[in-house]
Amino acid sequence: MAVQYLTVDEESAGQRLDNFLIRILKGVPKTHIYRIIRSGEVRRNKGRVGADDRVVAGDVLRIPPIRLSERAEEKVANPAPAREFPVVYEDDAFMAIDKPAGVAVHGGSGVSFGVIEQMRQARPQARLLELVHRLDRETSGILLIAKKKSALKALQDQFRERETGKTYLALVKGNWPAKLKVLDQPLHKYLLADGERRVKVVGKEDPDGMRSLTLVKVARHIPAPVGLEVASPDGFSLLEVTIKTGRTHQIRVHLATAGYPIAGDDKYGDFELNRLLGRSGLKRMFLHAWRLRLSHPVSGVPLELQIELPPELEKWMRLENRH
């Protein structure tokens, strides 16, 4: 591979050099990228440049010849399969898609690719496609993808400042008490021995606890269908859950800790009930990113995006399937 010369475009201006190279040099390990920056082999306008320096439109970057590892070469040779997802909203700045359950939002932690890698393959002409936020692999619903760097920053700022309204539909075991409307409990993220992430509620004084706020409204109560009366004698509750903070597994842990685990949750749920739910046709976690209120990242106009339950959840809810 020969020396490359890259000219920084307007869209990439202001990005840190390391982040710019990680995006451009797909498949090259991050450790290698930092090594060539540190060694001075990457030059900007013929001078040395640091990993945290921000690139400017028009900068000419010299990239040394890079030999990929076998694994990285395999990744480049076998990219993610191109896939489009149902579009809920799209304009020049960003798009909202309906993510199906069972698909990770990005590659890593045991999966080689996710939604974002598949979208980039499906739209090779797109100058930029970046995830604005995340959804758990098992959760379906609205996922935002930025098409411009300015939109990415504006949307992420809204999420961070808690200016968005994110409401999910969750089906939980039991009859949720209507008076229990606010769950304000800190959460602490930790790793299991096999490296898998888990989250638990901790005391208000715990230094590792992150403030986490979940609002709950009961949409309806559903009697237990035939075959589930013993496992869930109080039936099920369909909840509208609005999160004011976006912690990992926040809804799942808050609801389970309150004694009402989400139906089909394989990490924090009732495993015996899940087995019976699978037999009755519910083969996934019943958590769906249903509604999102935000301001348009360019115009500032308020937007409300909403998608109904996916067919597999809607079908399970239908009363004729229940007896």
Catalytic residues: 136
> Quick one: the chain helix, strand, coil %, rounded to 5?
25, 30, 50
Classify residue 305 by burial, with Cβ atoms within 10 Å: 0-12, 13-18, 19+: middle
As a whole number of angstroms, the distance between CA 173 and CA 1 comes to 58
Q: What are phi and psi of 214, to 5 degrees?
A: -125, 130
DSSP characters over 96-112: EEEEPTT--SSSBTTBS
How many Cα atoms within 13 Å fall on the side-chain side of residue 93?
12
As a whole number of angstroms, the distance between CA 150 and CA 13 comes to 10
Token representation of residue 168: 């999910």
